[in-house]
Amino acid sequence: MNLDAAVAAARHDYATKRPRSRDWTDRARTVQPGGNTRSVLDFAPFPFRAERAEGHQLVDIDGHHYIDLLGNYTAGLLGHSPEPVLDAARAALESGWALGSVHTNEVQFAELLALRFESIEQVRFTNSGTEANLMALAVSTHHTQRRKIVVFANGYHGGVLTFGAGPSPVSVPHDWQVCRYNDLEDVSRTFEAHGDEIAAILVEPMQGSGGCIAGSPTFLTGLRELCDRHESLLVFDEVMTSRFSTAGAQGLLGIRPDLTTLGKYFAGGFTFGAFGGRADVMAHFDPAAGGELGHAGTFNNNVVSMAAGVATLTQVLSGEVLQTTHERGNRLRNSLNEIFSAKGLAMHVSGVGSLMGVHGTSGPITSADDLVDADDRLKELFFFHCLDAGFYLARRGFIALSIEITDADIEAFLAVVERFDPGS
């Protein structure tokens, strides 16, 4: 069977087994463009529709059970409904949830984040990582009185901060300078030409949505040095990579950014984002210190996210838990690559720790250039093979382990991968 025929057969089998999901998609498309309100969840022939979740499992409306290896694209690091977070959220709601006031949990949450990240001297909250990155760029341009922002091809910093070879049509109109990831010489040339105009570098220590492509220590250290030399700000987008350790990727790398953006899992799965860093930069939001910038947002300090964040950092996400999950992810990635190599498949898994991406090409993968000839059909067949066996990952090959995933789950998943034969 050729790959095109295999993909068609896999899609047909998937659709046949999920009539209710198909019907709900048809219904959704009459009132929602594309049938959804979160584009990443869509895939052909239609996405399944979840009914409930618990621990590390999902159940769809057609009754299929899945072990969740996606973790809501990293926001579900804690699994589904962790008890301490659920208790904290319930307690917060019982005290009222639309206070229109500052409250104590937001202070405690901020203190806990500042303790974890040495580079974060002060922090402000948002509703998402997208908002956090927007605010970090706003304060960067204000602080430096410059307009140019260095970003990287294949980077993703939120729905309106998306880059392929250049900015997406929906990206906000900053003066973008798009460089190649892991190519310090390319960034250096940009600084040689525009150094006194560059406000900041916005970079993911590992490109997450772009395929889990890790930045080399030499590359990331070089960015720090360029910013120091040209008095630009280094902004680490750690919305995903903050899970690598209690101090995030920056803690493992020993690099201190000027600003850090956070999001996803810190509020235990509830809506959350944050940006913080040097006190002199964050002071632009402090009227008492002469700051001129405002930062609005009705739900920035919503009681559920703030209470959940305090519970997450005090009762759930210890350094030991993060390290165990990180090491489990490294073992899984290495095992997957061993299986693909032994089977002679042109497939490779990139990533760091509990975040990884499956690609339809042989490795290593250091930038988007290495993915140009990747065969997406291999990824699609792998996705449907895993889904049919009860393991849910992203259609694009993204895996984000939660702390609820066990070694037994990993062994069961590897057994499924051993049976993967795209030519059958």
Q: Please list the active-site residues.
A: 156, 237, 264
Q: What distance in Å separates the CA atoms of residue 42 and residue 394, rounded to the nearest whole number?
A: 10
Q: What distance in Å separates the CA atoms of residue 218 and residue 230, rounded to the nearest whole number?
A: 18
Q: What distance in Å separates the CA atoms of residue 33 and residue 24, rounded to the nearest whole number?
A: 14
Sign of the torsion angle spanned by Cα atoms 328, 329, 330, 334: positive
**What is the token pair recorded at 155?**
């980077």
Contact 331, 343 (CB under 8 A): no
Contact 392, 66 (CB under 8 A): yes
159-162 long-range contacts (CB < 8 A, ≥24 apart) are 159/130, 160/130, 160/134, 161/130, 161/133, 161/134, 161/202
Token pair 């979740």 is at which residue?
A: 53
